[in-house]
Structure 1
Amino acid sequence: MFKHSQLESVKAWLADPAQAALPLHARIQRAIRQLILDGALGVGKPLPASRALAASLGVSRDTVEAAYGQLHAEGFIERRVGSGSFVSEMAQRAPSRGQLRRRESSHVQGPTLSQRGAAMFKGGGVRDFLAPRPFAPGVPETRSFPLSTWERLERQVLKEYGYRALQHSDPQGMAPLRRAIADYVNLERGAHASAERVLVLTSSQQAMTLCANVLFDAGDRIFIEDPGYHGARRAFDAAGLECVPIPLDAQGILVERLRADPRSAKAVSLTPSHQFPTGATLALDRRLALIDWAERQQAWIIEDDYDSEFHYAGKPTACVQGLDPHERTIYIGTFTKSLFPGLRIGYLVLPRALVAPMTVARTLLDGHSASIAQLTLARFIDGGHFGAHVRAMRSVYGERLATLVRLVRTHLAGYVEPRVPIGGLQMPCVLTCDIPEQEVISAARRVGLDLMGLTGLHAAEPRQAGFLLGFAAYTPDELEAAVKTLIGVFQAMQR
């Protein structure tokens, strides 16, 4: 018969709300299995007769028999006719909880990751805002998305393609979407693209990871903007590349510094249309100089055009890829910022020589993107809905940026100074008080605000303290309430 503590342990499993979805016999079976794994029931120990255990637990004998039958099938117990049920010798091979604890401890203390795995873990990954709170950067407004139009187009796709839409898709991407993307970037971004050169991915971050692992070896040098996009730097760090920071001014990355480096590099990664996080636009003469450098060095230009749709002052400049006659530019785009994060569709426009290698490498990551979303997006673009949505959101975001600028200048003067961007979904603000950046971030998080610090976006000294304030996903009233909350954070920290 079970000891009292063992019986109580089984009863606890029966009463545990977390196990409520399991049938009674499964709860009993798992409770006894755990007693065996913990070593509370040793090899050869008898189990109570099914009738006696059923009476103690207040269940039917058939329920206990079903539990014993499953334990026997899994090898945890053996049943002897006329003698009862006993813990089997096979169960002795299962590690006890104490052994597992010791193993887990050794895993924590010992080096179990590859160098690349350790670099990925140390880098911290890229944080997404799963439930965005005020000031979370890079988050678009989704409450205004034309969901009924999207649903109608998705129904058309399912009606036309039927079960074919449920199957694997071309790893390069569905042809209708690749054509739509090529037409769009040629018209709106001044690119030089064709459907054959487009590779559909899940995100711009996946594009960065592909570039890092397909084009470069560990130890290769790559120039990066400083400050710059943390996701790119972490992808390059994880691949073992030597990231060489190049400073910026009001006209973007200082190309002369890049050209004067005696060791040069295999590539440069940059956000020329709307620099992250400063908002600067790379001047035309520097774009042309960059293209000339890449051709002379046989290096790559990795152009991340992450939110170029949202330009609030004048017309956006053409992308570098469209100016490059040598096919040394790799263009990265995404629909996460322009439509909605849950879509999970980004893309590369590649030089012809890289299409096959990049597509093959992509199959080792996730195979392909979902067909239904790709086909729906293609119709959304071709039908003019994408352009209409972007135009509407550009107006909304422009008004929200103006609101945030006014609120910051009115209420946060003395704490931060805004650096008003000409585009994008967030505004950088420089700290002008002596309160540490990280302390403000932590205090803001406790009251429901998400701030991204500027210091961590720098790769070299000097580092400028401050924050990125996202504004696109929040109404003027929400922005006003958030600014007032942030005022309270600063005031409380000055007391």
Structure 2
Amino acid sequence: MVPFFERDLRGHNMVRRTDKAALLPVALDRDSEKPMHRQLYDQLRDMILTGRLTAGERLPSTRTLAQDLGVSRNTVASAFDQLLAEGYLEGRVGAGSYVTTELPESSWPAANDPGAGANPRTRGLSKRGERLASLRHLRKGNRHPAFTAGMPDLKEFPFDIWARLMSRAWRNPPMDILANTEPAGYRPLREAIAGYVRTSRAVRCHADQVIIVSGAQQAIGLAAHVLLDDGDPVLVEEPGYPGVRGVLLAAGAELIPVPVDDEGFDVEAGERMAADARLACVAPSHEYPLGVTMSLSRRLKLLDWASRCDSWVIEDDYDSEFRYSGRPLAALQGLDRDGRVVYVGSFSKVMFPSLRLGYLIVPEDLIDPFRQARAALDDHPSTTGQPALAQFIEEGYFAAHLRRMKKLYGARQEALLAAGQKYLAGDLDLKATETGMHLPAFFKPALSARMSDVEASSRARARGITVSAMSEYSSTGPGRQGLLLGFAAVPEHQIEASVRKLAEALAGD
């Protein structure tokens, strides 16, 4: 076998030059009366005509394909010559053979055979599938940072440091990283997270309680699969984040929307609505989208309810790192003395969304059940970013990044409030938030009389401004009309001009 790696003069691994074309699913029958070059021709032609090999796709070289199939190079060359002669392939000097881009459409059966596409029959979904398919997924406004809610400023992330840490971890990775199949995740990262949340969020935990996942939604989904049976009632915030509802529905939960007021999640209302609820899923530090912080009395009532009713609480602590005023808030989990809270955190908002790393912190007696469930559902998380993230936290880069972004985002919120007072005071009610990355902006009567928040969102998008309609987060009706204004990703010098564009959109001209 030809080695994939070669050694340089210093003994380091170098990647050998190799054919990068796709492996082809060709099977040749050596006992067939049909010559092997004809078998190869027929199979490649069929792959081209059925679209399995697409126009412009590069084929392996004759030498590589001959090695793959265990035949002589002349056998492959004969098949290629025939395909070239008939116009199915085209040769490019010095670059190899490609599927032709000029084959007439009439030659493609897939384009003319009505049975070649998707079956038009109505497919029978499960009731759960129908509920999931009916959920409204909010559009991401990555192209327009003003004012995408929940989007961090990716340009301010220290990617030079991150690249160095990734390179350090993977240049000569130890076997414990390459072969890590621990369902709970990379041990050094779990230790780093436990130390971080103990100090910054007053969470009571150790590393064994930490389970690494691909984000908050997977964390909530895992907790739901462990703690719920099909049809169990679950109390959720109303309005609330659609992604949370989706993973709970996927686990078979019956969702009970509980109103959120100025003190946060209304525990007494939830108990009246579903006395037998098995679980409550809340974001007490910063309810989404209203931005309300749950009062201490409500937190204690929620913990008392969970203890009395033998129920559970999922605490979604998605962006509490960014607190701009008031006393630092301890996590709900830190107040829990009966082991009823499953704490959920994520690095998507504080670092960058595509990192896809989050974590759960589970009660001591649930460590083994959660690990076993994680192994059954998803085996183990990807290790690719975990070593670098552990070092990012342990070496102080994470704390430094949070301090810098907290100061930056605080200034951007102030700039948004000032511009809002200047251009939007007649239409929107904007108030400062103590925590988070967005402001809820509620409609004043004059604007409500002109348009809905969905129409306002559409009008803003037409001017290059992304604002989410508050009503899209409600599952029980239109609810209070308003917009979500994310300020974290908008440079301070661009905020006033962006607010002016939003004001023009709301003018209704």
Same fold (TM over 0.5): yes
Q: Render the CA deviation track for 1:166-222: whole Å, top value 9, x for unaligned.
A: 344312011101011111111110111110000000100111222233321222111
Q: Which residue in the other structure is 2:486 paired with?
A: 470
Asked if 2 retains the 8 angstrom alpha-carbon contact of 1:294 and 1:328, the reply is yes
Q: Which residue in the other structure is 1:19 paired with?
A: 55
CA distance in 2, matches of 1:335, 1:110: 38
Stretch of structure 1 that moved more, 456-465 or 325-334: 456-465
Q: Which residue in the other structure is 2:213 paired with?
A: 201
- Structure 1 position 458 matched with structure 2 position 474: yes
Asked if 1 retains the 8 angstrom alpha-carbon contact of 2:145 and 2:489, the reply is no
CA distance in 1, matches of 2:162, 2:313: 35
- Structure 1 position 105 matched with structure 2 position 136: no
Asked if 2 retains the 8 angstrom alpha-carbon contact of 1:166 and 1:372, the reply is no
Asked if 2 retains the 8 angstrom alpha-carbon contact of 1:132 and 1:139, the reply is no
CA distance in 2, matches of 1:303, 1:439: 33
CA distance in 2, matches of 1:156, 1:277: 39
- Structure 1 position 118 matched with structure 2 position 130: yes
Asked if 2 retains the 8 angstrom alpha-carbon contact of 1:246 and 1:257, the reply is yes
Q: Which of 79, 82, 85 matches 1:54?
A: 85
Asked if 2 retains the 8 angstrom alpha-carbon contact of 1:409 and 1:417, the reply is no
**Partner letter of residue 448 of structure 1?**
G
Aligned length: 424
CA distance in 2, matches of 1:383, 1:24: 46
- Structure 1 position 371 matched with structure 2 position 387: no
The offset of 1:134, in angstroms, is 1.6
- Report matched runs for 1:68-467 at 5 Å: 97-101=113-117, 104-106=119-121, 109-111=122-124, 113-125=125-137, 127-159=139-171, 161-162=173-174, 164-261=176-273, 263-432=275-444, 433=447, 434=449, 435-461=451-477, 463-467=479-483
CA distance in 2, matches of 1:255, 1:142: 37
CA distance in 1, matches of 2:458, 2:171: 50
The offset of 1:393, in angstroms, is 0.5
Asked if 1 retains the 8 angstrom alpha-carbon contact of 2:233 and 2:278, the reply is yes
Q: Which of 481, 484, 490 matches 2:500?
A: 484
Asked if 1 retains the 8 angstrom alpha-carbon contact of 2:57 and 2:98, the reply is no
Stretch of structure 1 that moved more, 390-399 or 356-365: 356-365
Q: Render the CA deviation track for 1:410-440: whole Å, top value 9, x for unaligned.
A: 1012221113211101111012212111112
Stretch of structure 1 that moved more, 438-447 or 289-298: 438-447
Asked if 1 retains the 8 angstrom alpha-carbon contact of 2:256 and 2:273, the reply is no
The offset of 1:302, in angstroms, is 0.7
Q: Render the CA deviation track for 1:13-68: whole Å, top value 9, x for unaligned.
A: 9xxxx823435999xxxxxxxxxxxxxxxxxxxxxxx88993889979xxxxx999
The offset of 1:158, in angstroms, is 2.7
CA distance in 1, matches of 2:183, 2:89: 56
Assess, with a 3 A threshold, how the Cα gap between structure 1 residues 355 and 132 changes in structure 2: closer, same or farther: farther
The offset of 1:157, in angstroms, is 2.0
The offset of 1:309, in angstroms, is 0.2
Query: Aligned with 2:165: secondary structure?
Result: helix
Stretch of structure 1 that moved more, 465-474 or 232-241: 232-241
Asked if 2 retains the 8 angstrom alpha-carbon contact of 1:411 and 1:483, the reply is yes
Assess, with a 3 A threshold, how the Cα gap between structure 1 residues 95 and 315 changes in structure 2: closer, same or farther: same
CA distance in 2, matches of 1:422, 1:114: 43
Q: Which runs of 5+ in 2 are unaligned?
A: 1-45, 63-80, 92-96, 100-108
Query: Aligned with 2:155: secondary structure?
Result: coil
Q: Which runs of 5+ in 1 are unaligned?
A: 1-9, 27-49, 61-65, 69-91
Q: Which residue in the other structure is 1:30 paired with?
A: none
The offset of 1:363, in angstroms, is 3.2
The offset of 1:321, in angstroms, is 0.5
Asked if 2 retains the 8 angstrom alpha-carbon contact of 1:426 and 1:471, the reply is yes
**Partner letter of residue 54 of structure 1?**
A
Assess, with a 3 A threshold, how the Cα gap between structure 1 residues 259 and 96 changes in structure 2: closer, same or farther: same
**Partner letter of residue 296 of structure 1?**
R
Query: Aligned with 1:224: secondary structure?
Result: strand
Asked if 1 retains the 8 angstrom alpha-carbon contact of 2:320 and 2:435, the reply is yes
CA distance in 2, matches of 1:157, 1:51: 49
Asked if 2 retains the 8 angstrom alpha-carbon contact of 1:419 and 1:430, the reply is no
Q: CA RMSD in A?
A: 3.1
CA distance in 2, matches of 1:421, 1:57: 63
Q: Render the CA deviation track for 1:318-362: whole Å, top value 9, x for unaligned.
A: 011111011000000001111111211100000123222322332
Identical residues among aligned pairs (%)? 35
Q: Render the CA deviation track for 1:125-182: whole Å, top value 9, x for unaligned.
A: 5654454532111011121112222222223323563455334431201110101111
CA distance in 2, matches of 1:127, 1:368: 29
Stretch of structure 1 that moved more, 255-264 or 207-216: 255-264
**Partner letter of residue 360 of structure 1?**
Q
CA distance in 2, matches of 1:99, 1:278: 49
Asked if 1 retains the 8 angstrom alpha-carbon contact of 2:157 and 2:351, the reply is yes
Query: Aligned with 1:98: secondary structure?
Result: coil
Assess, with a 3 A threshold, how the Cα gap between structure 1 residues 148 and 480 changes in structure 2: closer, same or farther: same
The offset of 1:232, in angstroms, is 1.1
Assess, with a 3 A threshold, how the Cα gap between structure 1 residues 56 and 233 changes in structure 2: closer, same or farther: closer
Q: Which residue in the other structure is 2:20 paired with?
A: none
Asked if 2 retains the 8 angstrom alpha-carbon contact of 1:207 and 1:347, the reply is yes
Assess, with a 3 A threshold, how the Cα gap between structure 1 residues 398 and 24 changes in structure 2: closer, same or farther: closer
Q: Which residue in the other structure is 2:17 paired with?
A: none
Query: Aligned with 2:280: secondary structure?
Result: strand
CA distance in 2, matches of 1:67, 1:392: 51
CA distance in 2, matches of 1:59, 1:404: 57
